Structures are given as structure tokens and as C-alpha cells.
Amino acid sequence: MHKHLILPFTLLTLAACQQSPKSAGSADSTVAPANTAALTPTWAKRFTGTIAGQPVTLLLQRAGSGPADVRGWYVYDHHGEPISLRPFYGENRTDDSIIVNEGYTEDDGVIRGLVSADGHFKGKWINARNNFDFDLSENNDSAIIFSVVAFTDSVKLLPDHPKSPAATASAYTAWPTGGAAAPVITFLQQSIAPGLKSGETPATLLKNGADSFFASYKSGAAGVDSASMNDGPSWQWSAESGSVVAWNKWPILAIENWTYDFTGGAHGNGGSLFTVCDLSQSKKLTPADVFKPGYKPVVTAALEKSYRKKYKVPAGQSLTDAGLQVKKIEPGDNFFITSHGAVFSYTPYEIAAYAAGQITLFVPWADIQTVVREAYLR
């Protein structure tokens, strides 16, 4: 994964703040009264309501006007397993509709709808067997409020050549703006953008990252015959990155930092890394903070149970026969927690072939409660 574009969400130490944030209502600047203003191209929102009669909390972000610029996470509140929402590329559209995938099979849901300026997300949840109407309302109770800062640019490899290949860089970051005491918000902003100087904006650092990527692009082509790169796909480089709020309910905040880049070859590379914080303790969490000593065997067994359920692997089949490159799935440091359990995520190539993509597994507290510190068994 490239290191040029994504702003570090380190959150190593949070400013002291022991009280729960108060309801922020519709403090997001992108929210306006109904029918009086259009949404801006970038926003981050937290919605609550029901889908198929079940209470849900849905986190959604838009980093631009294109269909690929929408991502998020949502959860059915009764069981608490976070579900990743990814861009839907299956159709061209000219309106502001939102279409995101839960997965890549006909059994996985697709969420389609429109976000209105009065703070509603209305649409349909659809899969091969069912469809359900929903009307979710923006709700920032006990949550950090975010906006989205985005940047994109491109450069030609051969500026004077009419058919020169080009590199494109795009990045965005979820930017905290409210929902907690001012010292917490200030610290979060400084943690996301530690190099930000007075008078600069987060977009400044995104631009600096893009410039670094473009410099690598130019230097990588030094001395190469220009005839060999005209319209050549190996020189159509791209770098994309973003930070997406994955869990946002006091006192736990989790951020997904994803990257994808193509710098020649058969395919690009990328993946997601997660950061989780306990705001009540002003602390970035590691597995040792959440789990008791000797937790790994218990969590390993629970991860195998989760993998078999998610990927429909029968009990008699080994994990390697099911396609993994490991005999057991051990917990790593790429994780976050919710009110209901822990999520462990594995980047492409980490435990399976590239084609398997990012493997993300949820383990409910009920399966591992004997090795979880009591503070997190909420």
C-alpha cells in the first residue's frame, strides 16, 4: 500500500475529556432545511432508523460527485456486526443517487437511495430475494461529527506529448468538527494531520501527498524510451486513499484507512488498516488493552468459527482447503471493537490469495467474553 496520500490517523493520545459528548443534532454544515439547499459534494453523516423492521445505525460518506466516491459502514443494532458498504460500479447514473454494496454475491444486499438536505436517507435495501423500503434520519447523538476533505489531481508523464499516459491521485479524510468538547476535537484534528501548520487546511497535506506520488511517477520513468509508454497501461498510474468512519458511538471511535494504487503490473495493490480509540480513556487501543493475557487461542477459535459462517465452509473442511494460506486465523493488530464484539481484518495476501480481497471477521463478545476486559463487555 502506498504511503503518499493517506493522512495518518494515529490518535496516540487524546486530550483529556471524561464526559460523554452531548447530542449534536444536525450540526454538520452540509445539513440544511428541506428544499432550501443542495448537499455539498463531500459529507459524512450518521443515520438511524429501521430496515426490514430492525433498528440500524448507518455511517455514510461522500467524497465527490462520482459513484465511486461513496463508502460507509452500518450495523443492525441488535447483533452489532459492522457491515462494510463499498461503491457500486454496475450502472451509469447522472443524479445524486447513492448505491453501495454489502458484498459481491446475490445474497448480499445493495442499498440504493437519496440523501436529502433535511437529513434523511431514503431508499431500498435489495438482494436477490427481498427488498425493503427505508427512511433513515440523521442522528449525531453520542457521536463525533465529521466532514470530508477531498483532493484530486493528475499529471502527464510526457507534458508535451499529446498521447502521454498520466498518473491520477485522489485522497480524502474524515475530518472531526464537533460532537465533543473542543479540546478533543482539536486533538483529533492534530492527530489526523500532525504536520498541519497554522493557516493550512487538511487539503494542503493531501496535495503534498499527491505531489510526492507524482514525483515517484516521474522518477520511475526516467530514462525510459517514450515510445514504449504511449498509451501503455503500465504507465497509467493511480493512487487512491481515504479514511472512513467505521464505528462512532461514545466512547468508541473506529476509523478505516484504505488505500489502493496501481503502479504497473497485472493489478494494483491496496487494503484497509483500522484505528480504534476509547475516548473516555483518551487512548488508542491495542489488542492488549481490550483482551486479557493469553487471549489468542480463544480468539483464534472464534475467528475460525466466524470465517466458516461467513464463507460457508463446512466443519470437516480445513481452512487451507477452503482457500486460505494459513492453517489457523490468529488475531492481529488490525482490529477495532464495537458495543457487541471485535472485528479483525486481514489485507490481501495476508492470509489468502489476492483474489480473496480484504477478509474482515466479526467476533461477538459472547464467543470470547472470558478473555475480554470487563470495561468493554458493554
Q: Where does a domain end: 81, 109, 138?
A: 138
pLDDT tens-digit profile of 322-367?
Answer: 999 999 999 999 999 999 999 999 999 999 999 899 999 999 999 9
- How high is the pLDDT of residue 229? 64
pLDDT band at 21 (very low <50, low <70, confident <90, very high): very low
Do 165 and 268 sit in the same domain of this protein? yes
Quick one: pLDDT at residue 19?
A: 38
Average pLDDT, the chain: 86
Judgement on whether residues 129 and 157 belong to the same structural domain of the protein: no
Contacts (Cβ under 8 Å, ≥6 apart) of 377 = 365, 369
User: Which residue, of 138, 160, 184, is where some domain finishes?
Assistant: 138
Assess if residue 292 is contained within a domain.
yes
Does residue 342 fall inside a structural domain? yes
CATH code, domain with 207: 3.30.565.40
Displacement of CA 66 from its chain's centroid (Å): 17
- Give the separation between CA 70 and CA 88, rounded to whole angstroms: 9
pLDDT at 162: 81
- Which pLDDT belongs to residue 38? 55
Is the domain of 173 the same as that of 292? no
Instruction: Answer yes or no: are the C-beta atoms of 369 and 303 closer than 8 Å.
Output: no
pLDDT of 23 reads 39
Q: Within this chain, do residues 243 and 296 fall inside the same structural domain, yes or no?
A: no
Q: What is the mean pLDDT of residues 129-139?
A: 96
Is 27 a residue whose pLDDT tops 80?
no
Looking at residue 233, its pLDDT comes to: 60
Q: What is the DSSP string of 53-108?
A: TEEEEEEEEEESSSGGGEEEEEEETTT---EEEEE--SS---S--EEEES-SSTTS
In a domain, 172, yes or no: yes
Whether residue 11 is predicted with pLDDT greater than 80 in this model: the reply is no
Residue at 325 is within a domain: yes
Same domain, 322 and 345: yes
Kindly state whether residue 105 falls inside one of the protein's structural domains: yes
117, 68: one domain: yes
The bridge status of strand 238-249 relative to strand 166-178 is: parallel
Judge whether 180 lies within some domain: yes
Does the structure show a pLDDT above 50 at 25?
no
Asked if residue 208 and residue 94 are part of one domain, the reply reads no
Higher local confidence (pLDDT), 89 or 249: 249
Domain extent, residue 114, equals 42-138
The stretch 82-101 carries a mean pLDDT of 84
Instruction: Supply the CATH number for residue 359's domain.
Output: 3.90.640.20
Q: How far, in Å, CA of 338 to CA of 248, rounded? A: 9
Better-predicted residue by pLDDT, 15 or 86? 86
Last residue of a domain, one of 256, 284, 312: 284
Least confident of 59-63, 233-237, 359-363: 233-237
Q: Do 184 and 279 lie in a common domain?
A: yes
Question: What is the band of 105 on the pLDDT scale with cuts at 50, 70, 90?
Answer: confident
- Residue 133 lies inside a defined structural domain of this protein: yes
Residue 95 and residue 191 in one domain: no
* Total of domains in the chain: 3
Percent of the chain with pLDDT over 70: 86
Say how far apart CA 302 and CA 366 lie, in whole Å: 10
What is the CATH classification number for the domain harbouring 64? 2.40.128
Of 65 and 59, the structure prediction assigns the larger pLDDT to: 59
User: Each residue of 30-39: pLDDT tens digit?
Assistant: 333 333 345 7
Which amino acid is it at 80?
G
What's the rounded mean pLDDT across residues 63-72? Answer: 84
Residues 72 and 188 in one domain: no
Regarding whether 291 and 276 lie in a shared domain, the answer is: no
The answer to whether residue 2 is domain-embedded is no
Cα–Cα distances (Å) from 169 to 107, 209, 272, in that order, read: 34, 9, 18
Both 258 and 149 in a single domain? yes
Query: Which neighbouring-strand residues pair with 46?
Result: 59
